Structure 1
Amino acid sequence: MFENELNPAFGLVVLLFAVVEWAWRRHSGRGYDLGSLGGNLGVMAGQLVSTVLTGGVIAAALFAVYSFAPFQWALDDWRTWVVGFFVLEFFYYWEHRFSHTVRWFWTSHAVHHSANEFTLPAAFRLGWTSTISGAWVILLPMALMGFHPVAIGALLTFNLRYQYFLHTEVVGKLGPLEWIFNTPSHHRVHHGSNAEYLDTNFGGVLILFDRLFGTFVEERKDVPVKYGLTTPVASNNPFVIAFHEWGNLWRDLRSRRTLRGWWRALFGRPGQDAGEPQRLAYWAVKDV
C-alpha cells in the first residue's frame, strides 16, 4: 500500500546507510552478494509498479469503511497520532502474524523472506501481489474506529520506514531498548529459517505485542540465524522471487482431491501437512 513511497530525503538516507553497510560487510569479511542485491532491486521495481496499479483499491476500501465510522479522530489533534500509533501497531502485528500463518497470505509475504543474505536493501524485497492476497483487510477495522485513511497511511509508512533500518547485521543488541522496541536483533530472528526462530517477532516499531501474545524469541549466540526460506530460493530473477510461492501453491492445489484438501492448501498454516513445526516454501502432500 505505502511500502515504497520514498521521498528524496529518505531515499538519500537509505542509500547512505546501504553504502555504509556494504563497506562494513566487506571489511568484516562477510562479503556482499551483488546478485542478491540485483534481485532486491528488481523486486522493488516490480513492487512499485504493482503499488501504482493496485494501491487505489486499498485506499478506496479504507475510505469506504471510514465513511461508516461512528466517531472520527481529528487529524489536527496530537492525541489522534499518539493513540493511532499504538492502534496501528496492534493491527500491524496481527496482519504480519497472519501473513505467516495463513497460506494464502504467505504466498505474497514469502517474497520478503526469500533473501538468503540479510542486508538493508532486502527490506525492499516485497510481494507484487499483496493487494490480491489481501492481508491488508486486517487494517480496515482501524478505519471503522474513526482513523482517517490519511492517518493510517502516514502511520504505516512511518512503521515500514523504521523497519528498513532493522534489516542488518551491523547493529548488535541494544540493551534496555530491546524490551520495548523492535530492533535489528529481534528482526534477524524474524527472518531466520531455523526451527527455533520461525514465525516470531512480528512487531513493527514495537516488540510489546510479541511479548504480550507469546511470539517473542530472543536472538541466541548459540543459534546463528539462517536467513531465507526453509526451502531456499536460489534464483535472483525478480519474477521467480515474486511468483515462486504462487507456483508452489498451484502445484499443491492440483495434488488435492477433496474440498477439505483445497481449503487446507489455501488457508491452512504453511507446512502443516509436512508434519514439521516450521514454515515451508512447499508443502509435502500426504493422503489428501
Structure 2
Amino acid sequence: MITPEQIMAWAIPGFFVLIGIELLVAKWRGRDVYHVNDAINSLGLGVVSQIVGIFTKLFTIGIYAWCASHLAQWTLPANSVWVWISGVLLYDLLYYWLHRFGHEVNVLWAAHVVHHQSESYNLTTALRQTGSGFLLGWLFYLPMALLGYPTEVFAVVALIDLLYQFWVHTEVIDRLGWFDRVFCSPSNHRAHHAVNDRYLDRNYGGILIIWDRLFGSFVEENDEDPPIYGTRAPLQSWNPLWANAEVYWAMLKDSWHARNWLDKLRVWFKPPGWRPVDVAARFPKSDFDIGHARYNPALPGTWKTYCIVQFVVMLVMGVHFLGAAPKLELSQAALYAAYLTFGLWTLGVVMEGRSAGVWLELLRTAGTAVVVGMSGQWFGVAHLDPRAVILIASVFGLSALALLCVAGYERRHTDARTPALG
C-alpha cells in the first residue's frame, strides 16, 4: 500500500513547480502577488510544521491507532474502494468542523491562526502551517477510529485532503462556474482568508464547499468587495516562533490579568477577540483598521538575495532532516531540529531589518563551518565523507563571507534601518 511519506515525496517537487508557474503567470498578467520576505516566512513556517510533525506523529497517529484497535467494534477492509471513498468524505466533513471550531474557539484559533497571518495570498500561503495543531486537532477525527477506519486509510485520506487544498491558495485562477458550487475552489477560499466583514469566518470546506452550504457558512466572493488578507490582529513579524506563540501568549496574559476565575477559563474557549471586560478596560487594544499598511520592512536587494540563498540551503537541510530524523537518536534529532529552527529565526530577524540578525547569522554560518570542518561530523553522522566535510564547510564559510560583504556594503550605502555590523 502507498504510504503518506511516498505521497509527500512526490508532492514536494510539484509544490515548487506550481509556485514557479504561479509566479510567471502573475508577472505575465502584471500582478504582484509575491513578496520575498512573506514567502520565506510562509515556507519557513511550513518547514517548522514538518519538523514538529516528526516528533508528534506517534502522538496523533498513535492515539488514532489505539482507539481504532481498542474501541471500534469492527475494522473496515482497507482494500475496499467504498471504504476509501467514504473515508475521504467523512474526513472532509470532520475537517469542516475542526476548521470551523478553529475560527470560533480561541484555543483552537491559537493553532490555526498561523495559516491566516500572511497578508499575501499565493501558493506559499498554503504551506504556511501550524506547529501546534497536533495538541487538540486529533479529537475531531476520533469518529473515524470508532467507526473502524484503519489507521493507514485515515493517514492517507488526511494527506489527500491536505494536498487538495494546496492549489486553492491562489489569485491567478478566477471563478470556475459549477465547480465553485460544489468544491472548495480558489474563489471560495480567497473569501475564507479575507478579513472583510462580508467574508469573515466563512467557507470552511476542505475539498467540498457543500458542507458550508448545508451548515450556513457559505459566502460568495464579490468583485465589488475584493478580499483583504491577514488577521484582525496583524502579526507584524517574520519570526516563525512568535507566529506560533502569539495567540497563546495573548490568552495567557488575559487569563492572568482577569479578576474573575470563570473569566480566566472563558478566555480559552470564547471566540477569538473576546476579552474579559475588566481586562479590556485595563489593557485596551486598538481597533482593527482594515486599511492599515501591510507589514513590509524595507529590505534592499542584496539582503533579499542573501536571504533567498540561505533559505534554499536551509530547505535542503530540512528535506535531509525529514529523511534522517526517524533513524536518529531522539537527542540528535532534537538538536538538528533546534539548529534548523534557529536558522529560520535568524533569517526572520534579518528580514525585519534588525542589526542583531547579522550577528546571529554570523554565529550560525561561521559556527557551522568551523564545527563541521573541525569535527568532520553532521547530525547523527559520525564520520562524514571528507568531500562532504569540505562542501559543507565551504558553503557556510562562503555564506559568512557573503554576509560580511553585504552588511558592509549596506552600512555604507543605506540608512540606519538596514541590517549592518553595528
Match of 2:183 in 1: 181
What are the ranges of 5 or more consecutive residues in structure 1 without an aligned counterpart? Answer: 276-283
Match of 1:121 in 2: 124
* Per-residue deviation, 1:9: 2.4
Can you list the C-alpha shifts for 1:165-207, whole angstroms capped at 9, x where unaligned? 0100011100011111000000001101111111111111100
| SS of structure 2 residue aligned to 1:164 | coil
Whichever structure has more helix as a proportion of its residues is 2
The change in CA–CA distance for 1:29 and 1:46 in structure 2 (over 3 A counts) is same
Distance in 1 of aligned mates of 2:270 and 2:237: 27
Match of 2:134 in 1: 131
Match of 1:269 in 2: 271
Match of 1:279 in 2: none
Distance in 1 of aligned mates of 2:74 and 2:24: 51
Distance in 1 of aligned mates of 2:229 and 2:260: 35
What are the ranges of 5 or more consecutive residues in structure 2 without an aligned counterpart? Answer: 284-422
Can you list the C-alpha shifts for 1:185-242, whole angstroms capped at 9, x where unaligned? 0000110111111111111110011000000011001111010001212212212222
Match of 1:285 in 2: 280
Equivalent pair of 1:3/1:160 in contact (CA under 8 Å) = no
1:76 aligns with 2:71: no
Distance in 2 of aligned mates of 1:178 and 1:274: 40
Match of 2:29 in 1: 28
Match of 1:281 in 2: none
Match of 1:239 in 2: 241
Letter in 1 for 2:24: A
Note the 1:192-271 alignment, pairs <5 A: 192-271=194-273
User: For structure 1, which segment, 246-255 or 118-127, has the greater mean C-alpha deviation from structure 2 after superposition?
Assistant: 246-255
Note the 1:149-188 alignment, pairs <5 A: 149-188=151-190
Letter in 2 for 1:244: E
Match of 1:11 in 2: 12
Distance in 1 of aligned mates of 2:6 and 2:256: 38
* Per-residue deviation, 1:286: 4.7
* Per-residue deviation, 1:274: 8.6
Letter in 2 for 1:186: N
Aligned length: 279
Which of 71, 86, 89 is the equivalent residue of 2:89? 86
Distance in 1 of aligned mates of 2:232 and 2:4: 25
Match of 1:48 in 2: 50
Match of 1:109 in 2: 112
1:95 aligns with 2:98: yes
Using the size of structure 2 for normalisation, the TM-score is 0.63
* Per-residue deviation, 1:28: 3.0
Can you list the C-alpha shifts for 1:112-148, whole angstroms capped at 9, x where unaligned? 000110010111111111122x122110111101111
Distance in 2 of aligned mates of 1:43 and 1:249: 21
Equivalent pair of 1:194/1:225 in contact (CA under 8 Å) = yes
Letter in 2 for 1:155: V
Equivalent pair of 1:66/1:148 in contact (CA under 8 Å) = yes
Distance in 1 of aligned mates of 2:59 and 2:39: 30
Equivalent pair of 2:258/2:276 in contact (CA under 8 Å) = no
1:59 aligns with 2:61: yes
Match of 2:321 in 1: none
Using the size of structure 1 for normalisation, the TM-score is 0.91
The change in CA–CA distance for 1:249 and 1:3 in structure 2 (over 3 A counts) is farther
Equivalent pair of 1:273/1:286 in contact (CA under 8 Å) = no
Equivalent pair of 1:73/1:147 in contact (CA under 8 Å) = yes
Equivalent pair of 1:123/1:164 in contact (CA under 8 Å) = yes
Larger radius of gyration: 2
The change in CA–CA distance for 1:110 and 1:229 in structure 2 (over 3 A counts) is same
Quick one: higher RCO (CA 8 Å, sep 6+), 1 or 2?
1
Distance in 2 of aligned mates of 1:118 and 1:4: 27
Distance in 1 of aligned mates of 2:176 and 2:12: 25
* Per-residue deviation, 1:5: 7.9
